[in-house]
Structure 1
Amino acid sequence: MVSIRLSRHGTKKRPFYHIVVTDSRNPRDGRYLERVGFFDPLAALSDSSLRIDKERAGYWMSKGAKVSERVAMLMKHGSAESL
């Protein structure tokens, strides 16, 4: 099954997440099909803290991709800008 979820990057104590489309059997930071955005929790709600390509995420959801709880919350409450 294909899922849209977070993939952790960055250094120790400085997290940075890519929002990726991947097979649910792959490891968290493993191979992915497409990167559709990013989330920086330390950017403190600035313009550069969250960016999601809504068009591509919508495409994958129309193909049956399941969205993780955290990504769904970010898409709903965040001020996601299109790429």
Structure 2
Amino acid sequence: MSVKIRLQRHGKKGKPFFHIVVADSRARRDGKFIEKIGTYNPITNPATIELNVDSAVQWLNNGAQPTDTARAILSYKGALYKKHLQGGVAKGAFDQAEADKKFNAWLEAKEAKVAGKVSGLAQAKVDAKNAALEAEAKVNEARIAAKKEAEEAAAQEAPAAEEEASNDSAEA
């Protein structure tokens, strides 16, 4: 039995949501699976990925083959790196404590990078909102200035029109 780590599609049309599952390769895409090891939501920015890394590494060690997209997700969350470090421990290159230390350092760097992206997106949203408010304020000022000019012109034309009307009525 060939085992795959792949995505199962859920969610509405146009709003995908995926479960990361371990399944027999002969099973349908959204059909029977062996174990659910995480979720993936591509709608959010950055994409939300929840993954049981230890379970994924165990399945990879047992011979499960990830699909291309699942491989990218496993790499992003560090499951492939953790498997690589466990291979080094098995060969005697370093001990388990050092492998855990390297993995935790990698995780912290990755989380900092993701947090930087989130804060950058939030800052860009605030900047866009401020720019829109400034543009709206300029339009409102121009509108008020045009209205004042129109009122002043009407005020200057009204006495002149009254004088002409009174001159016309005096002549008659």
Question: TM tier, shorter chain?
Answer: 0.7 to 0.9
Structure 1 position 21 matched with structure 2 position 26: no
Whole-Å separation in 2 of the counterparts to 1:55 and 1:8: 23
**Which structure's CA Rg is the greater one?**
2
Report the identity percentage: 35
How many pairs were matched up? 79
Please say if residues 8 and 15 of structure 1, whose CA atoms lie closer than 8 Å, have aligned partners that are also in contact.
yes
Q: Name the SS of the counterpart of 2:74 in structure 1.
A: helix
Q: Name the SS of the counterpart of 1:43 in structure 2.
A: coil
Structure 1 position 7 matched with structure 2 position 8: yes
Whole-Å separation in 1 of the counterparts to 2:33 and 2:13: 22
- Superposition misfits of 4+ residues, deviation over 4 angstroms: 78-81
Written as runs of structure 1 = structure 2, the 5 A alignment for 1:26-41 is 26-41=27-42
Structure number with greater CO (CA < 8 Å, separation at least 6) is 1
Stretches of structure 1 that go unaligned for 5 or more consecutive residues are: none
Q: Could you say which structure has the higher helix fraction? A: 2
Aligned to 2:67: 68
Change (3 A) 1:27 1:42: same
TM-score scaled by length of structure 2: 0.43
Aligned to 2:161: none
Structure 1 position 57 matched with structure 2 position 56: yes
Change (3 A) 1:79 1:2: closer
Q: Could you say which structure has the higher strand fraction? A: 1
Q: Please tell me the root mean square deviation across aligned C-alpha atoms, in Å.
A: 1.9
TM-score scaled by length of structure 1: 0.87
Q: How far did residue 74 of structure 1 move?
A: 1.5
